[in-house]
Structure 1
Amino acid sequence: MHEYFNANKPQGSTRSQNAIQNRWLLIQKCVNKFCGIKSAIDRRHESGKNEADRIEDAINMYERKGPFQFLHCWKILRDQAKWNDKLLELNNNGGKNNEDNVAEPGCEGELPSEKNVHDRPEGRDTAKRRSRRESESSASTAFEVLQHIHDNREKSQLKEEEQLQQILNRNDEKLNLQRAVLKVQMDAIELKK
């Protein structure tokens, strides 16, 4: 935001990054609160009231505690997919629903269509989370492959040991037979004498 402000700032402006950040936080807080009030009014479905009347009611309700100076910001932000996604995230994270901290998604009835939500580019944080999940899943896949190789190697070694044991048993039987044959031959030689 600071870079954008510097690129588009009015002549002679010297706002710091901190000042811009604080201003943005104030805008977010006030517009979030206004969205919550407007959503509450929209949910009541006051008959005979058009959109402009409901907006006017929300402004009047908001201004009971102080002036609403950010209507122009709300008009810009209410149709932005990223703004609505953030409000949904705040709302789903258990934000309190009192008058001072309301985080309603995009002031009901004004959410962008599903198509528009998916058309917006992926954000930096979302890309990082996706990349992390993919690397974790590829790491777990690699681990599974290694585990499978290890298991196959153990099975192969067990099979080799069984075959070796069978060979040894056959050799023992062969030696026992050779001893028996040798004993019979020795006994035959003894009898001839």
Structure 2
Amino acid sequence: MKNIKFSRLFAAMMFVAVLSFAGCKQQPEEEKLPENVRLLSEDDGIVGKWEDDYPSWNAFTTYDCQIKTDFVELASYYNLHESTVYIKETAEDEGYIYFQFSQPINLWQIGDVDVTGKWGAIAYQKLTQNSVQMCDADYTDQQFASTLEECVAKYFKTSGYFAGISTPFTRVSE
């Protein structure tokens, strides 16, 4: 009888010990993001489908650009790039969108370029509920960013990569 009580007591203590150790398991450290960069949220005003004011250029019938929390679709390269999407707001109505290329792109006058795994950026300004001025970075120099940190440091308005920043877009109803 003493062996049964001891066995049950020992089993109960071991069960508690296992639960204690499991509760102490270290959580993986969160990814360190560059300063003022965060995950894009569905609540951010830039999320949605956008049509530029040049209807003949609409690559996707009713829109030219689509920005979501898990992909960016650009008429410039006719591609949808699935990745985690980040935002850096520099003012209430302007900032940058950062995303990772998930497939090759076609650069005008250059052709197909495999940029899978590299980082891209979109600059936007004058964002309202229904309009924005924006453009994606000009990658004709083919010097793509390899990390999010490099992308943030490289692609900004005065770096010369966003010559088309004044291109007007209107929100498309979904």
Same fold (TM over 0.5): no
Normalising by the smaller structure, the TM-score range is under 0.3
Question: What TM-score, normalized by structure 1, do the two folds share?
Answer: 0.18
Flag the structure with higher strand content. Answer: 2
